[in-house]
Amino acid sequence: MLVSEHRRGPVRSEAARVAILEATARLFQTRGYDQLTMEGIAAEAHVGKQTIYRWWPSKGALVADCLLEGLLFREGFSPADTGDLRADLIAWLRGILAFVDREGGVSMVHSLIAAAGDHPSVGLRLSEGLGANQLLRARFESAVAAGQLSPDRPLDELGDAFVGAVVLRALSRTPTDAGTAVRLVDAVLGA
Amino acid sequence: MLVSEHRRGPVRSEAARVAILEATARLFQTRGYDQLTMEGIAAEAHVGKQTIYRWWPSKGALVADCLLEGLLFREGFSPADTGDLRADLIAWLRGILAFVDREGGVSMVHSLIAAAGDHPSVGLRLSEGLGANQLLRARFESAVAAGQLSPDRPLDELGDAFVGAVVLRALSRTPTDAGTAVRLVDAVLGA
Amino acid sequence: MLVSEHRRGPVRSEAARVAILEATARLFQTRGYDQLTMEGIAAEAHVGKQTIYRWWPSKGALVADCLLEGLLFREGFSPADTGDLRADLIAWLRGILAFVDREGGVSMVHSLIAAAGDHPSVGLRLSEGLGANQLLRARFESAVAAGQLSPDRPLDELGDAFVGAVVLRALSRTPTDAGTAVRLVDAVLGA
Amino acid sequence: MLVSEHRRGPVRSEAARVAILEATARLFQTRGYDQLTMEGIAAEAHVGKQTIYRWWPSKGALVADCLLEGLLFREGFSPADTGDLRADLIAWLRGILAFVDREGGVSMVHSLIAAAGDHPSVGLRLSEGLGANQLLRARFESAVAAGQLSPDRPLDELGDAFVGAVVLRALSRTPTDAGTAVRLVDAVLGA
DNA sequence: CAGTAACCGAGACGGTACGTCTTGTCTTCCT
DNA sequence: AGGAAGACAAGACGTACCGTCTCGGTTACTG
């Protein structure tokens, strides 16, 4: 006895889905989140507006999906493991800060923060994108194993502290200098 | 003989200025930053739109001014100094997290984050409003003097780490539990 | 027993055809021509849109078919033949004007006029539906035979004049009074 | 005794009003009523859509205003007064029928009928535009004075009968031949 | 004390984008 | 193959705000 609940009619068009996400990513990167419009995306993707609204409730959800598909963050910021936690974290933070300071980096982060305001999962992905949380946590665990980090430190919160500080700088547009990464690591880890 | 550069005509109306800021604060608190519109503010303040645009360039600037006037944040979050740094920080964080979790707190913080995206100084004021930076720094200095905190730790960055972690939680709407404050303090300070 | 003429494959579904026409009539009468949509008809008839487009080119054609099937006009307005042409015409016109003035009558006629704009045959059917042209012409012929109407009057055009005047009133929403029918008959026929 | 109740603020822009009406007339004549869109009018008039909606509630009202301004009907169809009522009416009807049959004439009338469906006053103006009602009535009065027309005939309804018959022909797209005007006059007036 | 320049409220203006609706075509599965 | 369901591209709908400009009317300094 089969019956298997079945829908009739055409199925979601993968071509349209991809075109929409790619158009969104393209426009997000070139114009930023605020300038991103549903109409612009529809035009760029050669798609009817209704096709967007059928599958995504909002601009934020669309950007969140782009993040999930990895269309916005090409680069991952994974901390190296040279055995020296402090050096590795400094290097990792410098990478992130360089990205943020780079042409378009600030506005990129700002756009993501704005998008996070509209859609919760963007915030989660933002942490992961910047901090590569899993990798960061792995690095911390390695440091704990090596005796460089007290096992008492809650590692997720430790990651949040670093990533949060970076986000806060971006929010307040505090300029970064050469020593910023070092100071931040020393502040949190102790010198 | 100083020609005394002088303007003719009436001078800026204090009544209008105050009405606009108060209308902005009122609408910001009830509807949030996104729902805040220049037209709405003008109507609420019984003021012409031009009177707003004459003195403020943007919605963000208006909100920033509200912050400066103390119309948005009634409460300050100042850490106590009982001699026990860890306990004081935990208490302070709990206060902030309770505020954020409270009815309307999340959206308040989100609105401020959104406003910060539009206007840099909102970001600065946000840090200060949440973290009361001066006070926090003072508490850290007291801890250094008491030998509870290594003098090597850059104190500004230490504050950023705490406030940043809170902002990050708000951004990703990560739910808070009873242990969050403790874990965050232990993560950053060491247990 | 004449099975005769058989196509293979499924043949046009009579059930669908009828369901579509009835849905159209139902919606036309309740919502009017402007509110009538292909999507609405398809939904009301539990039919795919394509099934409509396969057999009818437009909304107007659909309404025209409804008229042909007699699904829109239940009532016919046939002039009586009491021997008194003037009285018969006045009675007949009063019936039509009462229908038009009645609840929903104006919008009914307006909808038909709109449909006539989209599809020529609706216009023809409109004349017939309102004026019952054949019957009206028969009444005129009877009057000619009775010597009440000059044989020189072109009878089709005479009918058009009456029906046209009614349509024009509907178009301009000129209100009707008790004497309208009398005046119209006297205007055209002479008192 | 001063203080006459006064509105403050800018006054309605005559330039915009005229541009909108002229754009409407232009598009109405070239594309017809159905193809006429508010967006198209706004674009053609170089005007924001809101400026249209601020002053006109609908497309029909806009077309009605165009009629009132005389932007749609250049030509008036005024019956001559040669002393021969029948000949004058035939000539007048031939002019109208020629206009309707002419390139674009049918669609023009159809468009006006459609517009009349949307907006009552278009219907009134339609009668006037086609029938020049005042002038027609004046011609009838002259005929009554000359003893060519019974004083018992209600003259307004007489005009309606003629104009209505023409509208009805346009609605049903009944083709016109050389004798149409003659037959119509004879039908209504008697030979 | 008249002139005049900048303020004020109100709100119309040209625009952009919104989210919804309908059209007519296309695609998929089911009977 | 025909029919139901419904996704698709297109584009009009009417609304909400944007930031600018234009009105009269109202100060308050200047000559």
pLDDT digits (tens, 9 = 90+) for B26-76: 999 999 999 999 999 999 999 999 999 999 999 999 999 998 898 987 777
Which segments of chain C belong to CATH 1.10.357.10?
85-189
D78 or A28, greater pLDDT: A28
Which of D165, D172, D183 has the CB atom closest to C116's CB atom?
D172
Residue D39, pLDDT above cutoff 60: yes
**Distance CA B13 to C1' E24 in A:** 59
Task: Tell me the percentage of chain C whose pLDDT exceeds 70.
Answer: 90
Which of A10-14, A90-94, C39-43, D119-123 bottoms out in mean pLDDT, i.e. has the lowest? D119-123
Cite the DSSP H helix spans in chain A.
Answer: 14-31, 38-45, 49-55, 59-68, 85-101, 105-118, 120-131, 133-145, 155-172, 180-189
If you compute the radius of gyration of chain B from its CA atoms, what whole number of angstroms results? Answer: 20
Residues 6+ apart with CB under 8 A from D141: D155
Distances (CA, A) of C75 to A132, C99, C128, D17: 77, 10, 11, 47
Which residues 115-174 in chain A show a CB within 8 A of chain B? 116-117, 120, 123-124, 126-127, 150, 152-158, 160-169, 171-173
| pLDDT over 60 (residue C1) | no
- Which residues of chain A lie closer than 8 angstroms to B126, CB-CB? 171-172
Q: D134-152 pLDDT, tens per residue?
A: 889 999 999 999 999 999 9
Class of domain B14-68: mainly alpha
- Are the beta carbons of D160 and C163 separated by less than 8 Å? no
Task: Provide, rounded to the nearest whole percent, the portion of chain B with pLDDT above 70.
Answer: 96
pLDDT attached to residue B133:
74
| Per-residue tokens: C149 | 């109407």
How far is residue D61 from each of residues C112, D26, D53, D112, measured CA to CA in Å?
Answer: 21, 16, 11, 12
Does the pLDDT value for residue B10 go beyond 90? Answer: no
CB spacing of B184 vs A126 below 8 angstroms: no
Percent of chain C at pLDDT > 90 equals 47
**How close does chain B come to A88, measured CA to CA in Å?**
17
- Output the pLDDT for position B23: 97
What contacts A148, CB < 8 A, 6 or more positions away? Answer: A85
Higher pLDDT, D126 or A179: A179
Q: What is the pLDDT of residue C67?
A: 84
Minimum CA–C1' distance nucleotide for D13: E12
- pLDDT bracket for residue B3 (50, 70, 90): very low
Query: Using CB atoms, which residue from B117, B165, B190 is nearest to A153?
Result: B190
Distance CA D158, CA D138 (A): 12
Query: Given this model, what pLDDT does residue D91 score?
Result: 95
Per CB-CB distance under 8 Å, the chain B contacts of A158 are 187-188
- In angstroms, how far is CA C91 from the centroid of its own chain? 19
Region B155-182: mean pLDDT is 91
Residues of A in contact with B183 (CB under 8 A): 154, 156-157
- Cβ-based contacts of C166 with chain D (< 8 Å): 164
The pLDDT of residue A132 is 58
Of A48-52, C173-177, D3-7, the least confident: D3-7
Distance measured from the CA of protein residue B37 to the C1' of nucleotide F16, in angstroms:
10
Tokens representing C121? 């045959």
Q: What is the mean pLDDT of residues D21-44?
A: 95
Is residue A35 scored above 80 in pLDDT? yes
Binary contact (B161, A191; C-beta < 8 A) = no
Q: Reply yes or no on whether the pLDDT at C135 is more than 70.
A: yes
Can you give the C-alpha Rg of chain A in angstroms?
Answer: 20
With a 7 Å cutoff on the CB, does C39 touch strand E?
yes
Average pLDDT, integer, range A129-156: 89
The pLDDT mean for chain A works out to 89
D145-188 confidence digits (pLDDT tens): 999 999 999 999 999 999 999 988 888 888 889 999 999 999 99
B171·A114 Cβ contact <8 A: no
Of A120-129, C161-170, D18-27, D110-119, the range with the lowest mean pLDDT is: A120-129
pLDDT more than 90, % of chain A:
62
Using the predicted structure, report yes or no on whether residue A185 has a pLDDT greater than 80. Answer: yes
Q: Give distance CA C46 / C1' E28 (Å).
A: 18
pLDDT the model gives residue A4 = 46
pLDDT digits (tens, 9 = 90+) for C7-62: 444 567 788 899 999 999 999 988 888 899 999 999 999 999 999 999 998 888 89
Q: What is the pLDDT of residues A56-65, one digit of tens each?
A: 999 999 999 9
Average pLDDT over residues A105-133: 80
Q: Is the pLDDT of residue B5 over 60?
A: no
CA distance C114 to D116: 9
Q: Residue B12 burial by CB count (10 A; 0-12/13-18/19+): exposed, middle or buried? A: exposed
Please indicate whether residue A132 or residue A121 has the higher confidence score (pLDDT): A121
Asked if residue C160 has pLDDT above 70, the reply is: yes
Question: For position A172, what pLDDT does the model report?
Answer: 82
Query: What distances in angstroms separate CA D180 from CA A41, D27, D91, one per listed residue?
Result: 58, 32, 11
What residues in C contact D93, CB-CB < 8 Å? none
Contact across the interface for A165 and B169, Cβ inside 8 Å: no
CATH number for the region D85-189 comes to: 1.10.357.10
CA–CA min distance A11, chain B (Å) = 33
Least confident of B116-120, C131-135, D37-41, D54-58: C131-135
- CA gap D60, D98 in Å, rounded: 26
Contact yes or no for C171 and D110 at CB 8 A:
no
Whether the predicted pLDDT of D67 surpasses 50: yes
Please compute the mean of the pLDDT values over residues A88-105 and round it to a whole number. Answer: 88
Confidence of residue A5 (pLDDT cuts 50, 70, 90): low
Q: Which of A89-93, C73-77, C176-180, D121-125 has the lowest mean pLDDT?
A: C73-77
Domain with CATH 1.10.10.60 in chain A: 14-68
